[in-house]
Amino acid sequence: MMFGSKTALIVVDVQKDFCPGGALAVADGSAVIPVINRLMGRFEVVVATQDWHPADHISFASQHAAKPFTTIELPYGHQVLWPDHCIQGTTGAAFHDELDLNPIQAIIRKGWGRGIDSYSGFREADRLTTTGLAGYLRERNVGSVAVCGLATDFCVSWTALDARDVGFDVAVIDEACRAIDLEGSLTHAWDRMQSVGIQRQSIADILV
Ligand code: VGL
Ligand code: ZN
């Protein structure tokens, strides 16, 4: 199928658990919300991702008697172990109250299978199982995407890299993201994104 002419905004994981007070709070995470609320009105297509784990999810340190932020090897690869977060149906998994949900046209939940994580909104951590987001965007005539949300160095960058990998033009909107930054992960994420031609975009370029 030909890639289309529309640009989509992908709003990644703006959920209570990733904001101050949440189980896996990203420093200054809620600062992205007023910016994203303004950005959404500038795009024809707006989708959001929602991290959505069962209570016994394999990415949780509690399932391995391990400390959060350590890593293990799983059949699909390297896995950072996280504090329990974004458990299906809990308050922490809900979108932040200040995020305007009305402009969001589709929501992709990810990480819902017990045995596999999914930072990317396009593809699970085995790098094979797709979520359907690429097909959705193609059917809606999208050719390029702008990515924003939480966290820059995990779900935002993995989503942006996969978007590029399946052939979209991709920008990441810097001021509309915040990072976890574990051991240089933020610098590494920007290096990887820039090496595959992902644009680092400023809100000033969009909100003129
Ligand atoms: C995320 C760690 C675990 C994210 C999700 O949204 O960046 N990070 N699950
Ligand atoms: Zn998660």
Which residue among the candidates 13, 17, 51, 153 is catalytic per the annotation? Answer: 13
Residue of the nearest CA to atom 6 in ligand 1?
155
> What percent of the chain has a predicted confidence (pLDDT) above 90?
97
- pLDDT for 79: 97
CA angle at 146 for the pair 141 and 149, rounded to the nearest 5°: 130
ipTM score for this prediction: 0.98
Question: For residues 184 and 118, what is the distance between their CA atoms, to the nearest angstrom?
Answer: 21
Ligand 1 neighbour 51 (Cβ under 6 A): yes
- pLDDT for 181: 95
Ligand 1 neighbour 82 (Cβ under 6 A): yes
All domains in the chain, ordered by first residue: 7-53+92-205 (3.40.50.850)
Q: Determine whether 110 is an active site residue.
A: yes
Q: Mind listing the pLDDT tens digit for each residue in 168-188?
A: 999 999 999 999 999 999 999
Contacts of 158 (CB under 8 A, 6+ apart): 119, 120
How close is the Cα of 164 to the center of ligand 1, in Å? 19
| pLDDT grade for 2, boundaries at 50, 70 and 90 | low
The mean pLDDT value for 22-31 works out to: 98
Residue of the nearest CA to atom 4 in ligand 1?
155
- pLDDT for 16: 98
Instruction: Look up the pTM and report it.
Output: 0.97
pLDDT for residue 208 is more than 80? no
Q: Mind listing the pLDDT tens digit for each residue in 102-140?
A: 999 999 999 999 999 999 999 999 999 999 999 999 999
Question: For residues 121 and 46, what is the distance between their CA atoms, to the nearest angstrom?
Answer: 13
Which residue among the candidates 19, 86, 148, 155 is catalytic per the annotation? Answer: 155
